[in-house]
Amino acid sequence: MNNFIKFDTSSLWVVLPEIFLLSAIVVILLLDLFLNKYSQQVTYYLTQLSLLITGLLAFNLIDHSQVIIFSGSFILDNMASVFKVFMMVATMIAMVYSRHYLRAHLLFRSEYFILVLLSILGMMVMVSGYSLLTLYLGLEILSLSLYALIAIAHERVYAIEAALKYFILGAIASALLLYGMSMIYGISGSLNINEIANFVSNTDLTSRKTLIINFGLVFLVIGIAFKLGSVPFHMWVPDVYQGAPTSVTLFISTVPKIAAISILIRILVNGLGSMHSYWSDLFMVLSILSITLGSVVALVQTNIKRMLAYSTISHVGFIMLGFVTGTLTGYSAAIFYTLVYILMSLAAFGMIILLNKQGFEVDQISDFKGLSKHSPWFALMMLIVMLSMAGIPPLLGFYSKFFILQQIVSSGFITIAIFAVIFAVISTYYYLQIIKFMYFDEIDNNITINASMDMQLVLSMNAILILVVGLFPDFLIQLVLSLF
Amino acid sequence: MGISLLSLLIWLPIFSGVLVIFIGNDRANIARWVSLILSILIFVISLSLYTSFDSSTHLMQFVEKSSWISQFNINYHIGVDGISVPLIILTTFSTILVIIAGWEVVTKRCSHYMAAFLMMEGLIIGVFSSLDAILFYVFWEASLIPMLLIIGIWGGVNRVYASIKFFLYTFLGSVFMLLSIIYMYNKGGSFAIIDMHNLKLSFTEQSYIFWAFFMAFAVKVPMFPMHTWLPDAHVQAPTGGSVILAAIMLKMGGYGFFRFSLPIIPDASLEFSEIIIILSLISIVYIGFIALVQRDIKKLIAYSSISHMGFVTLGIFTLFLSYKQDIIEGSLLGLEGAMVQMISHGFISAAMFLVVGVLYDRLHSREISTYGGVINTMPKFTGFVILFAMANVGLPGTSGFVGEFMVILGAIQANIWYGVLSASTLIIGAAYTLWMVKRVFFGVITNPAVSMLKDINVREFSILAVLAIVVLVIGLYPQPVIELMHISIEHLLHQALTSKL
């Protein structure tokens, strides 16, 4: 067995998107040294451009048959390519929103964009990682960039607190994940997902080896649950969401979810798929707790970022339910939910950013008071986003819940489905609360919207997409089904 | 007519709504006229649905089907039978009334108001014509959104509470329906409602599905004890909202029993029919007494609505009682009575809420004690009110009589005591309606504001006159309505009485 990574230049086209992005980061970083403070816009446009090109390169690789290179540590398959494209699109949208926020709060620094690009690189490695080591490497690139990104508003106490919290808890999570990986490595003798899968499926599940695999499995699940932010490993989510600058919250709550889901799929589904009956029970508990706590605690929040943090926890619970089913369609449902959630979360945080003005931080639910009077259009957009998050048809959020519920019911977990819908109804209350502030309240805040045209346009498209894809969801559903 | 008639009826109102939103609040007058013209156009189109409808078959007509979500075999599948056509026409008719009723009264965000009603019209027609369960659910839930906004934006003082309560209540009810639909899909592999009609289900499955459906439909109807959202919603809603709520949205619950509960789960319906009948009787009698003590006119009418809708569920479920005693005649009578009652209640409750709206626009009070002696200043108006009050009581010759009479007749054949209890509503109904009329319209003027009232203008006169004509026509000659639905109801009866076990 060859444990060294063999470098075969003929297969480098597989990692073309990653290579391009890395070079782009280096170029932008160097270029930035020579830019004065007033031409920093260039960094922004270069960032968007490199995201676009990386996305196109990844798009080019869609539908390519599966290739595993670098001695089995890097995989290119449909799922990786689709995830990468989706990540680029989501990040581009997030960057448009970020620019408005950074300008309004005088945080416009080129480091911001560099760090975002670096974290994307980490996520691309995670999405394509096919050995425990690559996966961990990607995770660390992502995490380290995110810690710095949160602390970019270093004059704010809350941001520092959030960054520290995220750093310490993230480090613990990484340690747990590593510990789990080391156990799996110890028993199976390989870091490669494929070889682990072979080893586990050939192991007699009654033998004593199972104990160690199980031990490792639990740590892996905990580490992943930490990254996803599911209860009881959710403590960091509300604080980080609230403390981080809104544009960073927007980023953290969206794109890294894809990476977390893909690391989950690589390790637990591709690697330890035959242990499904062991980890699905853990997932069931985690998702039930997440849905309950997320829905109930969000009810009493007044800070909209904190509220959306708890709502994320409950959405994560739904996503994890998809993995309980143990069928490929169930996993597709979870991926579908993730993609839909990202689209909704982008729009929701985008709306919060939209209301930010020079030096005026919007983070209370009541800041939305009277929006429908001053900007009926964006109130309507927010209405769409909130109802979609609540899962009201014909908006996209309904189909994601529907897909998960359908899979749960067909796997025979009807009581869990009943439980989930009851909490979905409970969670509707806080989404309605925002609609109430926007539409029903007489008192208003005299909101003015002075965002640039591109921000307004992208945000409107984002929200309308939720409605339009909701009316014609077939394409997206077919797409996620083709990933396995 | 072309095959796309039904699609036109669903999407024309929705796109009209979008158009009216873009006209904007600054050009309110254009928005009003455009909405009126479009709603009349939609009504005319819906009439052509009636004229080209073939009432000699129970099969679905004007069927359109195209694939929507292929993974789950969900189709955009619509069609109508004799049960949906009258409800669709009721919807298009009520929307015109609502738009005229809000003409001068609604000044706040006028175009949005009109647009919300137009969109809701399209969504509700979608509910009444869906033949795919998921499509049905999508329309069913989506129709909550405009109503939430109508109550919340244009409602009274306590509108936030009422709108959110309305939304959560009905949403909670319907998610269980969604789960049972999903369950049946996993069993039968199809979301088509007609396939579900033929799906074999064991009794245990049927019972669970029955109660899940019951949650969804009984909340909508609403039935005791799930009715508490309705008085709040009605009292806070603007006049137009109350009219649509009472005239159409409540019918969605009844329609659900017709389209889902009876044919899909006949055995569970038979088993639990007694419980539903008792709940209906409680709705009829107990809620009637509650209506008697109301001080708020709108609340009184809201409770009277619940009481009258009790006849719908009573009519539907007495069919099983009659069946147990081999009285097929009686079962048919109950079902048809329920259907006629839904249509007639649509017109009468719309009229009653419009009447309250007329008073409220003038004095901004719904308290009975504010009024007294209105007849002295508003004689024409009072004339209409008395006609509608009589129809609400169920006076022979008005539409209110036909449905209630058929249901009571069916109930008496099934069980004399049920008949007696349901018939008691004629007395209770007369008591609360006429007592209210007496206190508001007759007597001496005690409030000086009442002596300053102006009688109804041409706009109000025309709405009430049209409603009065409809109420009388259906009351005197209900035959066309009954003929329209007869074959479909017979088929439904056959389905409801065929065991699936």
Three-class SS of chain A: CCCCCCCCHHHHHHHHHHHHHHHHHHHHHHHHHCCCHHHCHHHHHHHHHHHHHHHHHHHHCCCCCCEEECCCCEEECHHHHHHHHHHHHHHHHHHHHHHHHHHHCCCCCHHHHHHHHHHHHHHHHHHHECEHHHHHHHHHHHHHHHHHHHCCCCCCHHHHHHHHHHHHHHHHHHHHHHHHHHHHHHHHCCCEHHHHHHHHHHCCCCCCHHHHHHHHHHHHHHHHHHHHCCCCCCCHHHHHHHHCCHHHHHHHHHHHHHHHHHHHHHHHHHHCHHHHHHHHHHHHHHHHHHHHHHHHHHCCCCEHHHHHHHHHHHHHHHHHHHHHCCCHHHHHHHHHHHHHHHHHHHHHHHHHHHCCECCECCCEHHHHCCHHHHCHHHHHHHHHHHHHHHCCCCCHHHHHHHHHHHHHHHCCCHHHHHHHHHHHHHHHHHHHHHHHHHHHCCCCCCCCCCCCHHHHHHHHHHHHHHHHHHHCCHHHHHHHHCCC
Q: By C-alpha distance, which of B39, B16, B51, B18 is closest to B91?
A: B39
**Closest chain A C-alpha to B152 CA, distance in angstroms:** 5
CA–CA separation, B257 and A222 (whole Å): 47
Residue-level pLDDT at B225: 87
> What distance in Å separates the CA atoms of residue B126 and residue B491, rounded to the nearest whole number?
22
Nearest residue of B to residue A433, measured between CA atoms = B164
Q: Distance from B64 to chain A by nearest Cα, in Å?
A: 17
Q: What is the pLDDT of residue B329?
A: 75
Alpha carbon distance A353, A247 (integer Å): 7
All residues of chain B having their beta carbon less than 8 Å from the beta carbon of residue A481 are 71
Domain count, chain A: 1
A2, part of any domain: no
pLDDT score of B1 more than 50? no
**Cβ-contact A218, A282 below 8 angstroms:** yes
Give how far B172 is from chain A: nearest CA, Å.
6
Contact (Cβ atoms closer than 8 angstroms) between residue A300 and residue A448:
no
pLDDT at B26 (0 to 100): 85
Which positions ≥6 away from A453 have C-beta within 8 Å? Answer: none
pLDDT score at A415? 93
> Are A234 and A324 a contacting pair, CB within 8 Å?
no
Nearest-neighbour CA in chain B from A239: distance (Å): 29
Is residue B55 over pLDDT 90?
no
Substitution target from B18, B73, B148 for chain A, most A beta carbons within 10 A: B148
Residue A206 token pair: 């009654």
Determine the distance from the C-alpha atom of residue B105 to the mean position of all C-alpha atoms in its chain, rounded to a whole number.
24
Q: What is the mean pLDDT of residues A336-354?
A: 95
**Inter-chain touch B175–A424, beta carbons under 8 Å:** yes
Cβ–Cβ of B182/A429 closer than 8 Å? no
Residue for token pair 């939720």:
A466
Q: B322 versus B162: which is more confidently predicted?
A: B162
Question: Per-residue pLDDT for B77 more than 70?
Answer: yes
Neighbours of A151 (CB within 10 A): 21
- Average pLDDT, stretch A376-392? 93
- Say if residue A437's pLDDT is above 50: yes
Average pLDDT over residues B457-476: 91
CB distance A474–B68 less than 8 Å? yes
Residues from chain B that touch A392, judged by Cβ atoms under 8 A, are 141-142, 144-145, 171
Predicted confidence (pLDDT) at residue A143 exceeds the cutoff of 90 = yes
CA distances from B412 to B255, B345, B406 (A): 24, 21, 10
Would you call B199 exposed, middle or buried from its count of C-beta atoms within 10 A (0-12, 13-18, 19+)? middle
Residues of chain B found within 8 Å of residue A402, distances taken between Cβ atoms: 134, 178, 182
**Which band of pLDDT confidence, cut at 50, 70 and 90, is reported for residue B352?**
very high
Mark yes or no for CB contact B163/A394 under 8 Å.
no
Nearest Cβ partner of A410 from B68, B171, B186? Answer: B186
How much is the pLDDT for A402?
Answer: 94
* Contact (CB<8Å) B138/A393: yes
Nearest to B145 among A372, A387, A478 (CB): A387
Task: Determine what percent of chain B is predicted with pLDDT higher than 90.
Answer: 58
Residue B481, both tokens: 């309505």
Domain with A131 in it: 11-481
**CA end-to-end span of chain B:** 41
Query: Could you tell me which residues of chain A have a Cβ less than 8 Å from any Cβ in chain B?
Result: 372, 376, 387, 392-394, 398-399, 402, 405-406, 409-410, 414, 417-418, 421-422, 424-425, 428-429, 432, 435-436, 439-441, 472-474, 477-478, 481
For residues B301 and B234, the answer to whether their CB atoms sit within 8 Å is yes
* Mean pLDDT value across residues A318-344: 94
Check if the beta carbon of residue B268 is closer than 8 Å to that of residue B210. Answer: yes
CA angle A344, A348, A350 (to 5 degrees): 115
Burial A43-56 (b: 16+ CB within 10 A, else e): bbebbbebbeebbe
Tell whether the model's pLDDT for residue B2 goes beyond 50. no
How distant is the Cα of B32 from the closest Cα of chain A, in angstroms?
19
Q: What angle do CA B354, B356, B357 make, to 5 degrees?
A: 60
Q: Alpha-carbon distance A249 to B152, whole Å?
A: 31
Closest-CA distance, B213 to chain A, in angstroms, reads 14
CA A119 to mean position of chain CA atoms: 12
Question: Using one digit for the tens of pLDDT, what is the confidence trace for B256-268?
Answer: 999 999 999 999 9
Least confident of A198-212, A379-393, B167-181: A198-212
Helix (H, G, I), strand (E, B) or coil at B414: helix
CB contact under 8 A, A432 and B176: no
Backbone angles phi, psi at B452, to 5 degrees: -95, -5
Domain range list for chain B: 5-496
CA A175, CA B143: separation in Å to the nearest integer?
Answer: 50
With beta carbons under 8 A apart, name residues in chain A contacting B149: 439
Give the pLDDT band (50/70/90) at residue A92.
very high
Angle subtended at Cα A238 by Cα A237 and Cα A240, rounded to the nearest 5 degrees: 65
- Tens of pLDDT, residue by residue over B132-142, are 999 999 999 99
Report DSSP state, residue B107: -
Give the confidence band of A290 by pLDDT, cuts at 50, 70, 90: very high
Angle at A279 between CA A274 and CA A282, to 5 degrees: 165
Q: Shortest CA distance to B257 belongs to which of B226, B195, B213, B203?
A: B213
Is the residue at A4 inside a domain?
A: no
Give dist(CA B251, CA B245) in Å, integer: 9
Q: Do B168 and A477 touch (CB under 8 A)?
A: no
Whether ipTM tops 0.90, in short, is yes
Better-scored residue on pLDDT, B488 or A206: B488
Contact: B176, A418; criterion CB under 8 Å:
yes
- Please name the member of A399, A421, A473 whose beta carbon is closest to the beta carbon of B175: A421
Chain B environment of A472 (Cβ under 8 Å): 68
- Which of B154, B161, B182 best tests the A interface by mutation, with the highest count of A CBs <10 A? B182
Flag whether the pTM goes above 0.90.
Answer: yes
Give B240's contacts (C-beta < 8 A, 6+ positions apart): B98, B99, B101, B102, B106, B113, B117, B150, B154, B357
Q: Which residues of B touch A (CB under 8 A)?
A: 67-72, 112, 134, 137-138, 141-142, 144-145, 148-149, 152-153, 159-160, 163-164, 167-168, 171-172, 175-176, 178-179, 182-183, 185-186
B249, B184 Cβ separation under 8 angstroms: no
Q: Is residue A185 part of a domain?
A: yes
Asked if the model's pLDDT at residue A1 lies above 70, the reply is no
H/E segment holding residue B67: strand B61-69
Q: Report yes or no: A91 and A51 within 8 Å, Cβ to Cβ.
A: yes
Contacts of residue B271, Cβ cutoff 8 Å, sequence gap at least 6:
B203, B207, B210
Query: Which of B179, B183, B215, B219 to probe by mutation at the A interface, max A CB count within 10 Å?
Result: B179
Instruction: Round the average pLDDT of chain B to a whole number and report it.
Output: 90
Residues in chain B: 501
Kindly report which listed range (A60-69, A171-180, B91-100) carries the lowest average pLDDT score.
A60-69
Q: How far is B185 from chain A (nearest CA, A)?
A: 9
| Shortest Cα distance, chain A CAs vs residue B439, angstroms | 34
- Give the list of residues 6+ apart from residue A331 with CB closer than 8 angstroms, or none: A265, A269, A322, A323, A325, A484
Answer whether A406 sits within 8 Å of B183, measured CB to CB: no
Task: Output the pLDDT for position B42.
Answer: 94
Q: Is residue A354 part of a domain?
A: yes
Interface-testing mutation among A408, A413, A421, with chain B (most B C-beta atoms within 10 A): A421
Banded pLDDT at A4 (limits 50, 70, 90): low
Geometric angle at alpha carbon B426, from B423 and B432, rounded to 5°: 140
Q: What percent of chain A is modeled with pLDDT above 70?
A: 98
Alpha-carbon gap, residue A274 to B44, rounded angstroms: 62
pLDDT at A419 over 70: yes
